[in-house]
Amino acid sequence: AQKVTQAQTEISVVEKEDVTLDCVYETRDTTYYLFWYKQPPSGELVFLIRRNSFDEQNEISGRYSWNFQKSTSSFNFTITASQVVDSAVYFCALSEAKTTSGTYKYIFGTGTRLKVLA
Amino acid sequence: ETGVTQTPRHLVMGMTNKKSLKCEQHLGHNAMYWYKQSAKKPLELMFVYSLEERVENNSVPSRFSPECPNSSHLFLHLHTLQPEDSALYLCASSHTRTSGLNEQFFGPGTRLTVL
């Protein structure tokens, strides 16, 4: 069965600190996709990154970086020099590659609430 | 307008009311999704439409009835709901496998309260 675990329910950091959000997944598929979404207080989930299972290169985008390790089934997300605007709930998701309908079914983690204090 | 829009943003209804949630996407996608987000629970996929055809129904009670008249619009018709149905209802859209990348784009959600 597919599963996404975000063990950290809530994290609080002081502005300018670095913070890492953990994501561990389970799947039997060899081809799959991993995602991170941000949900600010407004409610809308904002897409941050997509990774496919064949691409283990780490990625950096500004203050955001992602570490994908198939050996440990983890896809962790680090925010460097956190800012108050980073306060949100962050969701990790896994997408099946095999669907007969051509659509993508996401399995979401329970989310990690990040609070960045000024 | 751009992206995915949802109306209304907030809805309070009694258990005997009938109401509808509306979702509209302006991204040229051909798949649309309804999710339910309750406190302290993972997002729950409710329905999936691909090319206006329902392709998935995740054991959702019949008091929730989806409708997808075209690839840009998705409705969720509600009737005789229960208080435990109070949640944030999120709509999303994406390309289908053959037509593009697979990330889903979400609307801002409708915050539903059932009294």
Task: Tell me the percentage of chain A whose pLDDT exceeds 90.
Answer: 68
Q: Which amino acid does the sequence have at B30?
A: N
* Element holding A36 (H helix, E strand): strand A32-39
pLDDT tens for A62-112 read 999 999 999 999 999 999 999 999 999 999 999 875 556 666 678 899 999
pLDDT tens for B62-71 read 999 999 999 8
Give the span between the Cα atoms of A57 and A67, in whole angstroms.
8
Task: Report CB contact under 8 Å: B94, A35.
Answer: no
Pick from B44, B104, B112 the residue to mutate for testing the A interface (most A CBs within 10 Å).
B104
Tokens of A5: 């675990």
Task: Name, in order, each residue with C-beta under 8 angstroms of A19's C-beta and a sequence gap of 6 or more.
Answer: A11, A13, A78, A79, A82, A114, A116
Q: Where are the beta strands (DSSP E) in B8-109?
A: 10-13, 18-25, 31-37, 44-50, 53-57, 64-70, 73-79, 87-94, 105-106
Q: Which amino acid does the sequence have at B110?
A: T
| Cβ pair B114, B81 in contact under 8 A | yes
- B30 pLDDT exceeds 90? no
- B31 pLDDT exceeds 80? yes
Question: CA of B35, closest CA in chain A: separation in Å?
Answer: 10
How high is the pLDDT of residue A65?
93
The three-class DSSP label of residue B55 is: strand
Contact of B92 with chain A, judged by CB distance below 8 Å, is answered with yes
Question: CA of A44, closest CA in chain B: separation in Å?
Answer: 4
